[in-house]
Amino acid sequence: MKGKSSGPSRGSRKPGAAPQGRARGAVKAARARKPDAPKAPPKQAAKPASIKPASVKPAPARTSSSKGVSLDVRQFRVAADDDGIRLDRWFQRHLPDVSFNTVSRWSRTGQLRVDGARAAPGDRLAEGQSIRVPPAEPKAAESARPKRVRPQLTDDQVAFAQSLVIHRDAQAIVINKPPGLATQGGTKTEDHVDGLLDALEYELDQRPKLVHRLDKDTSGALLIARTARSAAHFAKAFSSRTARKVYWAIVMGVPSIEDGMIELPIAKQPGTGGEKMHVDEEEGLPARSRYRVIERAGNRAAWVELQPYTGRTHQLRVHMAAIGHPIVGDGKYGGKEAFLSGTISRKMHLHARRIRVDHPDGGRVDVRAELPDHFAASLTSLGFDIHAGDLPLDEEIERKPTREDEKKAARAHAKQIRKGRKGERRSRGASAGAKGGGGKSGGGPRKK
């Protein structure tokens, strides 16, 4: 039985099944082909290689590899100190690496926006506005310029600068600039007020800013802004002519009119490199200066008050020389005739006596600067009374109304009476029409 049963089990196979010998041969063949199996995967291994760059984090692509500048759109909020300044000046303060040409291009292409609207470089900003700034454009390394470092002030320079201060508050400083000290630097000019401003920071951690200037040889009150907000405020006051500046001067001779207005256009004198101005009726810019004679020393000289109503370069000096009364010591515009003999100093006798301007926090800055020694000595030598110099401004004079003022007031009063009577007639007509009960308003009374 065992022999019979074992025979069919060896020889029997399921339909379609391979013989056992072939199966063993296939296993051996598979084992033999195993080393060749890695040849197929390269096609599948290539896929991870192509996908690999996509797995890199995008963050590095949003910054400049050289400067680390963000390449995302940026949003800024206008602070109180930047209220009223131009958009291009805002960039100078907060993003100095962005050039004016870049700002202009962003504006033309609509990428630069303020509160969602397209903005131009000259637009004025208001506190609280939102500025949309496009991604930064890092400059090439070779075009980068080293920042200019201001020299450190010595203790003597700091003490000198602070000794000039005659007024200081949270927004403004007024100094009494001595003659011979330039307001700003230039060719061969190393000592100037602008170079001393670091000494006037005091408790604030920001550098003060100049908002107007005085000639090098002119002494007196010079206003300096302590914050960006006050700088914008004062600059607007000077450009709109709401700030008042009063000068004292000693002039050659005595003007025939004691209270006069000089209206002569001024332009740069050709051939002087812009260093000298002159009266030019055809191409000059409008210029107005008022003068009032304070006292006179016979026919030799006069002490005058000057008020510039415009802000042209050397305006007061050019105007006084143009009417034949140059300022004493001003050889540039008066020549040899601008000097007095005797004990009178040869320095220029022009002094910014007073400055009055609205304060950004309310009220006014109203400061007077004392005379330099040479000016005060000249007044004494000429016999002038120093206490007679401060004349009141027009708006400070309490004057009685003139005949013309009375006529204007009477005409205005009569006009108001006529308006009142006309209103009364209209109201009576309307009430009468309502009582008539029908028809056109006011028709009944007109027929009667």
For residue 394, give every residue at least 6 positions away whose Cβ sits within 8 Å of its Cβ, in sequence order, or none. none
**Rounded-to-integer distance, Cα 238 and Cα 372, Å:** 25
Q: Is the dihedral angle over the CA atoms 372, 374, 377, 382 positive or is it negative?
A: negative
pLDDT digits (tens, 9 = 90+) for 422-434: 766 666 666 665 5
The pair of three-digit structure tokens given for residue 175, joined into one six-digit string: 């100094």
Say which range, 35-44, 182-191, 226-235, has the weakest mean pLDDT.
Answer: 35-44
Side-chain half-sphere exposure of 170, counting CA atoms within 13 A: 6
Confidence of residue 172 (pLDDT cuts 50, 70, 90): very high
Based on the number of CB atoms within 10 Å of its own CB, is 128 exposed (0-12), middle (13-18) or buried (19 or more)?
exposed
3-class DSSP state for residue 232?
A: helix
Residue with tokens 């196979």: 13
The pair of three-digit structure tokens given for residue 448, joined into one six-digit string: 């009667």
pLDDT at site 25: 46
Q: Identify the CA nearest to 326 among candidates 265, 249, 390.
A: 249
Overall residue count recorded for the chain in this entry = 448
Q: Is a pLDDT exceeding 70 seen at residue 217?
A: yes
Alpha helices by DSSP H, 242-337: 315-322, 331-334
Which domains, ranges and CATH numbers included, belong to the chain? 69-138 (3.10.290.10), 155-394 (3.30.2350.10)
Q: Is a pLDDT exceeding 80 seen at residue 435?
A: no
pTM above 0.85, yes or no: no
Residue with tokens 């330039």: 182
Residue with tokens 């004062």: 234
**Rounded-to-integer distance, Cα 380 and Cα 374, Å:** 10
Average pLDDT over residues 81-103: 89
Note if 191 is an active site residue: no
For residue 359, give every residue at least 6 positions away whose Cβ sits within 8 Å of its Cβ, in sequence order, or none. 169, 171, 172, 365
Distances in whole angstroms, Cα of residue 86 to Cα of each of 91, 228, 248, 369: 9, 12, 35, 32
pLDDT at site 436: 57
Rounded to the nearest integer, the mean pLDDT of the chain is: 81
**Rounded-to-integer distance, Cα 244 and Cα 353, Å:** 11
Q: Is a pLDDT exceeding 60 seen at residue 145?
A: no
pLDDT at site 97: 86
The pair of three-digit structure tokens given for residue 447, joined into one six-digit string: 């027929």
pLDDT at site 82: 86
Contact 252, 325 (CB under 8 A): yes
Distances in whole angstroms, Cα of residue 427 to Cα of each of 435, 438, 441: 13, 17, 12
Which tops the pLDDT comparison, 96 or 315? Answer: 315
**Rounded-to-integer distance, Cα 415 and Cα 81, Å:** 47
pLDDT digits (tens, 9 = 90+) for 246-296: 999 999 999 999 999 999 999 999 988 778 999 999 999 999 999 999 999
Average pLDDT over residues 207-223: 96
Which tops the pLDDT comparison, 118 or 80? Answer: 118
Q: What percent of the chain has pLDDT over 90?
A: 56
**DSSP code for 281:** T
Q: Is a pLDDT exceeding 90 seen at residue 149?
A: no
Find the catalytic residue in 215, 330, 394, 405.
215
Confidence of residue 2 (pLDDT cuts 50, 70, 90): very low
Average pLDDT over residues 105-131: 92
**Rounded-to-integer distance, Cα 134 and Cα 76, Å:** 11
